[in-house]
Amino acid sequence: MPDHNVFIPEIDRYCDRWCERCAFTSHCRHYHIERQSGPDAALDKPDVFNAAFWIELDEQLSVLLKGIAEEEPGRSSASPVPSPHQSAREHPCAKAALHYAGMIDGWKDSGKIWPLFPGEAGEIIRHYHCFLYPKLVRAIEVGMTTNSGHDNPEEAGERAEGTAKTVLIAIDRSLAAWGMVYREYPEYEDAALDMLLHLDRLRKSVEALFPGSRSFRRPGLDD
């Protein structure tokens, strides 16, 4: 068990729950508490999410989405206008994230086989497809609590922008993964394109809802 002084306070509030791919497990108290009775296998796995990898994929994705917009102007990726809502789960962004999970389930039920995806793409899509909805609901809930002026002890220290940034990073990575599928598997082009456009709309909506999220610095993760 490492020295508690090396733990980064609140780092787990804004993580993507992919410990096997995280370079900060040795600094995460939550990680070590959860694994006190089990092996620390995740510590032995490399961090493949390096900056160069994601910068290259983001550049490729930008070119891809621009090309789609020029070739198929009818398939818009414009952000929807938010509507009034009573709870975080009813928010249009949350519903869109839940719909994405349903789209993935429909993809699986249609007989398309996950292992056919490029290795990294398949792993990324599988990990994040059910992650977006609960994390985004959490960000909206924290934002609603903050805006209402209520002081919830469980949310002390948490910022909606930080949680939303985690969601945006997951969307960015999911978009990059679907871009890989789109390019490498022509037979899945139409279905992958639907995923790309839906996620791009969701990303724009989350950025509009949490305008300070991209610049938020998450403890440890963005230092």
Q: What is the Cα–Cα distance from 13 to 213, expressed in whole angstroms?
A: 14
The confidence score (pLDDT) of residue 77 equals: 55
Going 106 to 108 to 114 to 117, the CA torsion angle's sign is negative
In this predicted structure, the answer to whether residue 88 has a pLDDT above a threshold of 90 is no
Q: What is the Cα–Cα distance from 41 to 19, expressed in whole angstroms?
A: 10
More confident call, 171 vs 76: 171
Whether 96 contacts 205, CB under 8 Å? yes
> Whole-model pTM?
0.73
Q: How far is CA 183 from the centre of its chain?
A: 21
Q: What is the Cα–Cα distance from 91 to 114, expressed in whole angstroms?
A: 30
Whether 179 contacts 57, CB under 8 Å? yes
* % the chain with pLDDT above 70: 65
In this predicted structure, the answer to whether residue 102 has a pLDDT above a threshold of 70 is yes
In this predicted structure, the answer to whether residue 216 has a pLDDT above a threshold of 70 is yes
Of 30-44, 94-108, 195-209, which one has max mean pLDDT? 195-209
What does 30-83 look like in DSSP terms, one character per residue? HHHHHTTTS--GGGGS-----HHHHHHHHHHHHHHHHHHHHH-TTS--PPPPP-
Q: Comparing 38-47, 153-162, 182-191, 211-220, which segment has the lowest mean pLDDT? A: 38-47
Q: What is the Cα–Cα distance from 6 to 23, expressed in whole angstroms?
A: 14
In this predicted structure, the answer to whether residue 45 has a pLDDT above a threshold of 70 is no
Q: What is the Cα–Cα distance from 200 to 206, expressed in whole angstroms?
A: 10
In this predicted structure, the answer to whether residue 157 has a pLDDT above a threshold of 80 is no
Indicate the pLDDT class of residue 43, thresholds 50, 70 and 90. Answer: very low
pLDDT per position as a tens digit, 71-87:
655 555 555 444 455 68
Q: Report residue 41 as tokens.
A: 């296998």
Alpha-helix runs per DSSP H in 72-159: 92-109, 119-128, 132-148
Q: Give CA torsion, residues 28, 36, 43, 115, to 10 deg.
A: -110
pLDDT per position as a tens digit, 52-61:
554 555 565 6
- Cβ partners under 8 Å of residue 96, min gap 6: 80, 198, 201, 202, 205
The confidence score (pLDDT) of residue 14 equals: 84
The values of phi and psi at residue 45, to 5°, are: -95, 140
The confidence score (pLDDT) of residue 156 equals: 42
Report the chain's mean pLDDT, rounded to a whole number: 75
